């Protein structure tokens, strides 16, 4: 029987759960002088879990963090993050730089290097400037505070138009615990894993294997259900740390409640990434129903989310339902055209094998909004369904990425 759970959204971010402090500083990695190094520290050894990019071209911090989680048995004290430089495809020097980041952080907060996780984001193929990073770690360690979550969220941004933070409070039979988090991501966003960095904290007492299972489950329906441009990067990761400071033990019986609590923080962060996608003007929610299996629904939803034709049509306010049918037909062999349905917002434009083009003006008016829903029923009569979030594709996206390195 599922444990009872009450999850409430609260104000806050990554340092909101008890037992955590955070900081964000500017140390000179970014030429702009904007904040570029963040630090999250647990007051004691915390259970730790992670989900990493599936890209085989993995950045040095991904390699180092995975090694440290294995060495520590799934425990961590600190996470150090820099923006402005991905430290990806930088060879042995990059690995040495990532390990040095961990070692310097360990010295600054009083733990072993294996209890430090490392993350980086920025331009691929650029080496870190060690003196700047070392200075930043010292500055951030001195600035650590339970009120430092917002500064940390600012420091991990690259092309993000706004910082992304979320927090929630969950009550189970054993008591109340909190979950907090922050994320960055705006371009190179594609599921499995979505190109982004995210950091989740909780003050519940959770053993590392259970935390890993719960994080993977929460990520599957949130960070792995978003897309901006169909691109999977080299640095993607989600870290979760559990301090245990709330004194509330979460075990197998509370697993569904733990997943619900994690999702209540991961989902708004994931949607925030899409809403702040490079050049985006519209958030698009895609719902696929009537599939034979959940996997069929997810495959179709992902194909729609990554279709440039669909994304440009939404941007231009064109209720071109034919593009949705075409994508669904190539994404899965199970589409039953004579029973399929397509809705743009509340307007059904295609059903039972025929169009309703007289409703196009109503759908065009709906597309003038900023929050758009596209629904496709595959017509199989099955119960499989899925949901994903994406954004429109604009000329501004092209401009940003054409000039990214210049």
- Residues 361-406 have pLDDT tens digits of 999 999 999 999 999 999 999 999 999 999 999 888 888 778 766 5
- Cα distances (angstroms) measured from residue 347 to each of 126, 198, 218, 240, 318: 48, 36, 31, 41, 13
Mean pLDDT over the full length of the chain:
93
Pick the CATH number of 6-275 from 3.20.20.10, 3.60.70.12, 3.40.109.10, 3.40.50.150: 3.60.70.12
Can you tell me the mean pLDDT for 236-245? 95
At residue 55, the pLDDT reads 80
| Count of CB atoms situated within 10 Å of the CB of 119 | 30
The pTM of the full predicted model, rounded to 2 decimals, is 0.90
What burial letters (b/e) apply to 340-355, b meaning 16+ CB within 10 Å? bbbbbbebbbbbeeee
Mean pLDDT of 34-45: 97
Q: What does the alpha-carbon distance between residue 205 and residue 294 come to, in Å, rounded to a whole number?
A: 32
Q: How confident is the model over 116-139, as a mean pLDDT?
A: 94
Compute the distance between CA of residue 353 and CA of residue 342 in angstroms, rounded to an integer. Answer: 10
Reported as a single tens digit per residue, the pLDDT across 189-220 is 555 444 589 999 999 999 999 999 999 999 99
Which of 16, 90, 105, 195 is catalytic? The answer is 195
Asked if residue 365 lies in contact with residue 323, where contact means CB atoms within 8 angstroms, the answer is: no
pLDDT at residue 153, as a whole number: 98
Q: Tell me: pLDDT of 66 over 90.
A: yes
User: 332 an active-site residue?
Assistant: no
Select from 304, 117, 131 the least CA-distant residue to 198: 117
Q: What is the reported pLDDT for 1?
A: 40
Q: Where in the chain is CATH 3.60.70.12?
A: 6-275
Cβ count within 10 A of residue 86: 25
Q: Per-residue pLDDT for 156 more than 90?
A: yes
- The answer to whether the beta carbons of residues 62 and 52 sit under 8 Å apart is yes
Q: Could you give the CA distance from residue 400 to residue 120 in angstroms, rounded to a whole number?
A: 20
pLDDT per residue as tens digits for the range 321-349: 999 999 999 999 999 999 999 999 999 99
Q: How far apart are CA 243 and CA 230, in angstroms?
A: 35
Is the predicted pLDDT of residue 232 greater than 70, yes or no?
Answer: no
Parts of the chain belonging to CATH 3.10.20.340 = 283-402
Rounded alpha-carbon distances, angstroms, from residue 93 to 8, 90, 126:
45, 6, 11
DSSP 3-state of 53: coil
Q: Is there a contact between 288 and 405 (Cβ–Cβ < 8 Å)?
A: no
- What fold characterizes domain 283-402? Ubiquitin-like (UB roll) (3.10.20)
């Amino acid at each position: 029987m599922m444990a009872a759970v009450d999850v409430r959204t609260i104000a806050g971010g990554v340092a909101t759960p008890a037992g955590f402090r955070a900081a964000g500083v500017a140390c000179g990695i970014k030429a702009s002088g904007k904040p570029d190094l963040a630090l999250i520290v647990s007051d004691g050894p915390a259970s730790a879990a992670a989900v990493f990019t599936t890209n085989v071209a993995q950045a040095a911090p991904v390699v180092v963090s995975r090694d440290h989680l294995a060495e520590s048995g799934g425990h961590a004290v600190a996470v150090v993050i820099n923006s402005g430089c991905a430290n990806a495809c930088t060879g042995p020097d990059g690995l040495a730089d990532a390990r040095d980041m961990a070692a310097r952080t360990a010295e600054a907060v009083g733990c072993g290097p294996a209890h430090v996780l490392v993350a980086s984001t920025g331009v691929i193929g650029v080496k870190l400037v060690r003196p700047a990073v070392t200075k930043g770690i010292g500055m951030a360690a001195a600035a650590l505070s339970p009120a430092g979550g917002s500064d940390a969220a600012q420091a991990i941004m690259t092309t993000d138009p706004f910082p992304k933070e979320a927090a929630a409070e969950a009550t189970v039979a054993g008591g109340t615990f909190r979950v907090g988090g922050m994320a960055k991501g705006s371009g190179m966003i594609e599921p499995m894993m979505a190109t982004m960095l995210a950091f989740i904290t909780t003050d519940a007492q959770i053993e590392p294997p259970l935390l890993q299972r719960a994080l993977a489950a929460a990520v599957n329906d949130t960070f792995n259900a978003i897309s901006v441009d169909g691109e999977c990067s080299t640095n993607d990761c989600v870290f979760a740390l559990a301090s245990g400071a709330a004194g509330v033990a979460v075990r197998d019986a509370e697993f569904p409640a733990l997943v619900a609590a994690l999702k209540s923080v991961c989902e708004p962060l994931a949607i925030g990434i899409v809403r702040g996608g490079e050049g985006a003007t519209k958030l698009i929610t895609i719902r696929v129903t009537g599939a034979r299996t959940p996997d069929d629904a997810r495959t179709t939803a992902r194909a729609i989310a990554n279709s440039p034709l669909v994304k440009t049509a939404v941007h231009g306010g064109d209720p071109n339902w034919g593009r949705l049918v075409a994508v669904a037909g190539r994404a899965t062999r199970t589409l039953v055209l004579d029973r399929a349905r397509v809705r743009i917002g509340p307007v059904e434009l295609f059903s039972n094998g025929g169009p309703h083009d007289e409703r196009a003006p109503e759908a065009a008016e709906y597309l003038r909004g900023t929050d758009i829903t596209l629904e496709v029923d595959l017509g199989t009569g099955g119960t499989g369904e899925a949901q994903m979030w994406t954004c429109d594709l604009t000329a501004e996206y092209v401009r940003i990425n054409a000039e990214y390195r210049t």
